[in-house]
Amino acid sequence: MEQLLQQIEAIKAEIAATVATTADQVEQFRIKYLGTKGLVKEIMGEMKNVPNEQKKEFGQILNAFKMVAEEKMQQLQAALGDSDEQTAKFDFTLPGDPVAVGTRHPLNLVRNQMVSIFKRLGFAVAEGPEVEDDWHNFGAMNLPEDHPARDMQDTFYVQAATEENSAWLLRTHTSSVQARVMETQKPPIRVICPGRVYRNETISARAHCFFHQVEGLYIDENVSFADLKQTLYFFVQEMFGKEVKVRFRPSYFPFTEPSAEMDISCQICSGKGCNICKHTGWVEILGSGMVHPKVLENFDIDPEKYTGFAFGMGVERIAQLKYQVNDLRLYSQNDLRFLEQFKSV
C-alpha cells in the first residue's frame, strides 16, 4: 500500500512536468496515462489487492489521481487549440510587412548628378587620398610655405614637418587630386575630383570642419577663358534649369590667373532677396580661373604650349540651393527625419 502511494505521487509529478506542444505529443500523453493500457488504468487495477477496510480511502486517492491526469490532458488540448486557432486565423494572402529601404544621402545625390553632368562634357573622375603631404595640397598649387594665402584655408595638420619629411595634413581642397593627376598624366587632361575636404573651422549652421567638393581641371592646347565660362554655364543650366542667371566676379587664387568667382541667381527666392542670398539675389557657388603657369611648370607641362582652366565648388552649397537646406550640420547628423525626405529624389 505504501509503495503504491509513492508510485502514484511519482506519476503525478511526472504528469505535472509534462510538456506537449504538438498534437502528436498530446496524443502520446493520452495513450501513456489515460489509454486503455495507460498508467491510470493500471493503478486502478490495483484496487482489487487493497484490503476491504482501506478500499474507501484508496478509492478517493485513485479518483483524485485520475482527475490530475484528465485535467492535464484538457490543459494540453486547450493550449494546442489556441495555436491551431492562430494558424487558422492567419491570412496568408495579406500583403507582407514593408521592408524599410534606405535612401541616398542628399550629398551623394547631388554629387552623382554633378559627376554625370561633367561626364557628358568628357570629364573623367579622379580621386586621391584625404591625408596629403604639403606638396600636393599646397606647394604644387603655388602656395609655398609662408604664403599668406595659406590662411584662406585653416588646416588640420596630422604631422608637423621635420628636416627630412614634409608636413602631413587633411587635404583642404581636392586641388590636391589635380596635382596628382598632373603628376601622372600628360595633356590633354580633363578630370573632375569629387571628395571630402577638411578645414579647421568652428562648426555652425554655415561652416563645418569637413565638407565636400567637386573640382575640375581641363588642360589642352588653346583652352580659353571662354571655354571655362561656357563649361560652367552649361553645368548650372543642367543642374538648376535654363532660367538660372550667372555672373562672374574677379577673384584671387594662387593657383589660377586670372581668377573668378561665379554667382548664380538665388534659387531659393528667385533673385528677390532672402536670407540665403543675404538679400542680394545672388549666391556664390564656385571659384575658378586659368591654371597658373607656375602650376603647369611644377609638373613639366609647357605653359607656352598648353593652357587650362580649373574650378572648385562645394557640394553642400549646391545641395543647399537645390533642397533649401539652411543648416550645414543637418548633413552629418544622420537624423532619419531629415534623410527620409530625399526618398523620392
Residues in contact with ligand PHE by CB under 6 A are 173, 175, 215, 253, 256, 287-289, 310-312
Q: Compute the least distance from the CB of residue 324 to ligand PHE, in Å.
A: 24
Tell me how far apart the alpha carbons of residues 309 and 258 are, in angstroms, rounded to a whole number: 10
Nearer to ligand PHE, 106 or 289 (CB): 289
SS3 11: helix
Tell me how far apart the alpha carbons of residues 169 and 199 are, in angstroms, rounded to a whole number: 10
Q: Which of 249, 294, 265, 245 is nearest to 141 (CA)?
A: 294
Q: Give percent helix, percent strand, percent coil of the chain, each to the nearest 5.
A: 45, 20, 35
Q: Compute the least distance from the CB of residue 92 to ligand PHE, in Å.
A: 59
Nearer to ligand PHE, 213 or 265 (CB): 213
Taking CB atoms, the residue at the shortest distance from ligand PHE is: 312
Q: Compute the least distance from the CB of residue 305 to ligand PHE, in Å.
A: 21
The three grid cell numbers given for residue 121, joined into one nine-digit string:
562634357
Amino acid at position 245, single letter:
K
Q: Which of 193, 155, 190 is nearest to 174 (CA)?
A: 193
SS3 289: strand
Alpha helices by DSSP H, 46-205:
55-89, 106-120, 134-137, 175-184
Tell me how far apart the alpha carbons of residues 18 and 111 are, in angstroms, rounded to a whole number: 65
Residue 109 C-beta-side C-alpha neighbours within 13 Å: 18
Nearer to ligand PHE, 306 or 311 (CB): 311
Residue corresponding to grid cell 487558422: 88
Q: Compute the least distance from the CB of residue 338 to ligand PHE, in Å.
A: 26
Q: Compute the least distance from the CB of residue 146 to ligand PHE, in Å.
A: 19
Q: Strand 307-314 relative to strand 210-220: parallel, antiparallel, unpaired? A: antiparallel
Q: Compute the least distance from the CB of residue 256 to ligand PHE, in Å.
A: 5
Nearer to ligand PHE, 194 or 312 (CB): 312
Nearer to ligand PHE, 239 or 310 (CB): 310
Q: Compute the least distance from the CB of residue 137 to ligand PHE, in Å.
A: 10
Q: At what angle do helices 225-240 and 315-323 cross, to 10 degrees?
A: 40
Nearer to ligand PHE, 11 or 192 (CB): 192
Nearer to ligand PHE, 215 or 263 (CB): 215
Q: Compute the least distance from the CB of residue 213 to ligand PHE, in Å.
A: 6
Q: Strand 189-198 relative to strand 124-125: parallel, antiparallel, unpaired? A: parallel
Tell me how far apart the alpha carbons of residues 217 and 263 are, in angstroms, rounded to a whole number: 19
Nearer to ligand PHE, 194 or 271 (CB): 194
